Amino acid sequence: MSYFSLESMQTQHPADRSDADANWWRGAVIYQIYPRSFQDQNGDGIGDLVGITSRLEYVADLGVDAVWLSPVFTSPMKDFGYDVSNYRDIDPLFGTLEDFDRLVEKAHALGLKVIIDQVISHSSDRHPWFSESRISRTNGKADWYVWADPKPDGTPPNNWLSIFGGSAWQWDGRRMQYYLHNFLAAQPDLNFHNPAVQDALLTEMRFWLERGVDGFRLDTVNFYFHSQGLEPNPPVRPEEFNTSTAPAVNPYNLQDHRYDKSQPENIAFLKRVRALLDEYPGTTSVGEIGDAQHQLEIMAQYTSGDDMLHMCYTFDFLGGEYSVDHFARAIRAVAESAPDGWICLAFSNHDVVRHITRWAPHGFEDMLGRQAIALLLTMRGSVCIYQGEELGLTEAELAYEDLADPYGIEFWPEFKGRDGCRTPMVWQAHVHQGGFSAANRTWLPVPAQHLQLAVDQQEEAANSMLHVYRAMVRFRRENRVLHDGAINVLDDTPEGVLAFRRSLKGDELFCAFNMSAEAVQYTPQAGLFLEEAGAPCTNTALEDGRLSFGPFGTYIGRIKRGN
Residues with a catalytic annotation lie at 219, 279
Cα 108 to Cα 211: distance, rounded to the nearest angstrom: 12
Query: Strand 113-118 relative to strand 215-218: parallel, antiparallel, unpaired?
Result: parallel
Cα 309 to Cα 267: distance, rounded to the nearest angstrom: 10
For residue 459, the tally of other CB atoms under 10 A from its CB is 13
**3 state DSSP class of 155:** coil
Cα 309 to Cα 342: distance, rounded to the nearest angstrom: 9
3-state helix, strand, coil in the chain (%, to 5): 30, 20, 55
Cα 195 to Cα 141: distance, rounded to the nearest angstrom: 12
Torsion sign over Cα 151, 153, 158, 160: positive
Specify the amino acid at residue 180: L
Residue of 214, 313, 226 lying closest to 14 (CA atoms): 214
Q: Among the residues of 70-194, which ranges form H helices? A: 97-109, 128-133
Cα 39 to Cα 424: distance, rounded to the nearest angstrom: 8
- The DSSP call for residue 404 is -
Cα 85 to Cα 129: distance, rounded to the nearest angstrom: 9
Long-range contacts of 417-422 (CB under 8 A, 24+ apart): 418/350, 418/351, 418/352, 419/444, 420/353, 420/354, 420/395, 420/396, 421/348, 421/349, 421/350, 421/351, 421/352, 421/353, 421/354, 421/386, 421/395, 421/396, 422/34, 422/36, 422/37, 422/350
List the end-to-end C-alpha distance of the chain, in Å, as a whole number: 17
For residue 368, the tally of other CB atoms under 10 A from its CB is 21
How many angstroms separate the Cα of 507 from the Cα of each of 350, 484, 552, 557?
36, 11, 26, 11
Strand partners, 62: none
Instruction: Supply φ then ψ for residue 273, to 5 degrees.
Output: -60, -45
Q: Containing H/E element for 282?
A: none
Q: Among the residues of 338-452, which ranges form H helices? A: 355-359, 365-376, 406-411, 448-451
Cα 36 to Cα 15: distance, rounded to the nearest angstrom: 29
How many angstroms separate the Cα of 54 from the Cα of each of 57, 60, 98, 437?
8, 12, 15, 13
**3 state DSSP class of 241:** coil
Cα 307 to Cα 285: distance, rounded to the nearest angstrom: 12
CB 93 within 8 A of CB 500: no
